[in-house]
Amino acid sequence: MENNRAYTYDRYLSPLDVLAIAFGCTVGWGAFNLPGSAFLPVAGPLGSLIGMAIGVVIMLIIGGNFSFLMRQRPGTGGVYAYTKEALGRNHAFLCAWFLSLSYLAILFLNAISLFTVIRTLFANSLQIGYRSYNIAGNVITLGEVGASVVALSIVGLLFINAKPLMQRLQTLLAIVLFAGVLAAAALCLPHLNLPETLNSVEMFGIQGGSRPFAIFSIVMLAPFALFGFEVISLETVHFKFNVKQSRWIIPVSILMSAVVYIALTLISICAAPDGYASWQAYIADLGAQTGVASVPSFFSAKAIIGDAGLVIIALAAMAAILTSMIAAFRATTRMLSTMAEDHLLSGTFANTNHSILFIMVIAILISLLGKNVLDCFLNLASLGAVIGFGYTSLSAWKLAGKSGSTLSAATGALGTIASITFAVVNLVPKLTATEMMGTEAYLILALWCLLGLLFYLLTVTRSGAARSTSSGIILFVLLTYAMVMWLNNQGMLESIRQSGRAVLQPKGLFALGIVLTGFVLMLMNLIAARRMKAE
């Protein structure tokens, strides 16, 4: 109860602070990395701009659903509370379970991105200490690990001891991020030969394929690129202004994020290293680059502006990483606390300080794996975002219908359809030019579903309340699909088809064990739920 009273009366977030949270969580290291790794190779500058514009429209529709629910249902819980009221506790559990994975993935990825910034700016200067381990071909040194550990520890401890100070810091960093990108764009874009760039053969990318397919591929990246604005739905009890006045915050944060992505994409083609005749040749050979040249926006800023340009773009990148870390930290904490207060997790997590310490320790341990291993979390962050968007849009559709809001009912329906499309593209391989789910991502998804089945069983047993069986069935189906896709990517399905004995290989036995364990947990959930209903 004490914790709930703190939520009710601790109002310290101004409109600028809330905008900084939404914008800061949306723009992370991906804004600096995606132009060179995905946007330009797939769709070129023109295709990227068109795809991003379409993606922004879709996100504005989904963002409108969040704004509607925030105004109609202010209070703790955010997405979890909306889904619970509209669709029931079981779907609320699924929504919160996968959104928690997304927020954790954002936290891990941005913490590990400090590796990339350090290596980009300082080469091997922080590769100090005994090279004690090598994971996935990535040599991880104490100096690089230390950067992430220190950042995660500072953020976690500040959240425990100085929440208002942490918010001031996040607001300042969000301003630095936006101002830094705008300054770099203002100085670099005059050097862009736009007519020549747009008239080039590769204006829609360098990978070939049709233009509509290239644009579609960029649109499908929107949930990952623009995920994060919705975290403010978890903070409404801390607004020191009327929640109904927040209607403009989400759309403005989405548009600001889009400006950053577009600016960094155009900056990336303003210059190319010696030996490359065009940005196309440079981007095509990006994998061979090291240091500053490995990040096109960094290289352009330095080549055009000089060392000052590199400082500007580096400060903006560091601000992006830190704002994403801070926002993901607080979002994960709020989500875990909300689930605990509703008896979906241990009551220990209802204390926000305990949740913060738990997240901090887990994030530090995960960061020891290094960036190469954690790249698979990119896919999971996008999938969790899509699930959250889908449940929120469906909730808005249903609740708006009851309240008679025709516009919100329409945007809810459109957001639901868009989210289903995003989910299919995420789960089914080769539907876009970029691989949405890698082999390791399918494995982690299966394990997360298995863990979800276990947590939900413990919840049903502990609470003694009747539950629906839908959550367990959905988790098991998704688990089974993920393991099948994992085996397929390993080349095991063809081996099993040709020779049934292949299933007895270690990977086959492992996958079979995961599926059978999930099946047993699902049956136990069904039995427990039916027993509770009978009682």
pLDDT band at 124 (very low <50, low <70, confident <90, very high): low
| Whether 56 and 174 share a structural domain | yes
Q: Which residues contact 298 (CB under 8 A, 6 or more apart)?
A: 32, 120, 121, 292, 310, 313, 314, 317
pLDDT band at 127 (very low <50, low <70, confident <90, very high): low
Let me know: does 123 contact 131? Beta carbons within 8 Å. Answer: no
| Whether 463 and 411 share a structural domain | no
Burial of 358 (0-12, 13-18, 19+ CB in 10 A): middle
- Of 91-100, 105-114, 322-331, where does mean pLDDT reach its minimum? 105-114
Q: What is the CATH number of the domain that holds 399?
A: 1.20.1740.10
Tell me the C-alpha distance between 301 and 317, whole Å: 12
User: What domain range is 338 assigned to?
Assistant: 2-437
| Whether 432 and 446 share a structural domain | no
| The last residue of a domain, from among 407, 437, 467 | 437
Let me know: does 335 contact 84? Beta carbons within 8 Å. Answer: no
pLDDT of res. 9: 43
The answer to whether residue 373 scores a pLDDT higher than 70 is: no
Tell me the C-alpha distance between 173 and 155, whole Å: 13
| Whether 380 and 521 share a structural domain | no
- Of 31-40, 207-216, 431-440, 466-475, where does mean pLDDT reach its minimum? 466-475
| Whether 146 and 72 share a structural domain | yes
pLDDT band at 494 (very low <50, low <70, confident <90, very high): low
| Whether 331 and 209 share a structural domain | yes
| Cβ-based neighbour number of residue 14 at 10 Å | 14
* pLDDT tens, residue by residue, 376-392: 777 788 888 999 999 99
Tell me the C-alpha distance between 117 and 115, whole Å: 6
pLDDT of res. 371: 67
| Whether 371 and 225 share a structural domain | yes
pLDDT band at 430 (very low <50, low <70, confident <90, very high): confident
Most confident of 10-14, 62-66, 452-456: 62-66
| The last residue of a domain, from among 419, 437, 455 | 437
Q: What is the DSSP string of 290-306?
A: -GGGGSHHHHHHHHHH-
Tell me the C-alpha distance between 318 and 333, whole Å: 23
| Whether 334 and 446 share a structural domain | no
Total domains in the chain come to 2
- For the chain, the average pLDDT equals 84
- Of 26-35, 88-97, 490-499, where does mean pLDDT reach its minimum? 490-499
Q: Which residues contact 530 (CB under 8 A, 6 or more apart)?
A: 469
**Tokens found for residue 92:** 């609320």
pLDDT of res. 3: 42
| Cβ-based neighbour number of residue 273 at 10 Å | 14
The answer to whether residue 246 scores a pLDDT higher than 70 is: yes
Mean pLDDT across 57-86: 89
| Whether 426 and 499 share a structural domain | no
pLDDT of res. 391: 94
pLDDT band at 416 (very low <50, low <70, confident <90, very high): very high
pLDDT of res. 201: 55
| The last residue of a domain, from among 393, 422, 437 | 437
- Of the two residues 515 and 74, the one the predictor is more confident about is 515
Whether this prediction's pTM lies above 0.95 is answered by no
* pLDDT tens, residue by residue, 303-312: 999 999 999 9
The residues with which 302 forms a beta bridge, in sequence order, are none
* pLDDT tens, residue by residue, 73-93: 887 778 888 998 898 888 888
Q: Which of 450, 369, 482 is nearest to 108 (CA)?
A: 369
The answer to whether residue 365 scores a pLDDT higher than 60 is: yes
| Whether 84 and 149 share a structural domain | yes
pLDDT band at 7 (very low <50, low <70, confident <90, very high): very low
The answer to whether residue 239 scores a pLDDT higher than 70 is: yes
Q: What percent of the chain has pLDDT over 90?
A: 33
Looking at this protein, which amino acid is placed at residue 455? F
pLDDT band at 1 (very low <50, low <70, confident <90, very high): very low
Which contiguous run of DSSP H or E holds residue 523? helix 506-534
Tell me the C-alpha distance between 481 and 396, whole Å: 29
| Whether 503 and 392 share a structural domain | no
| Whether 116 and 127 share a structural domain | yes
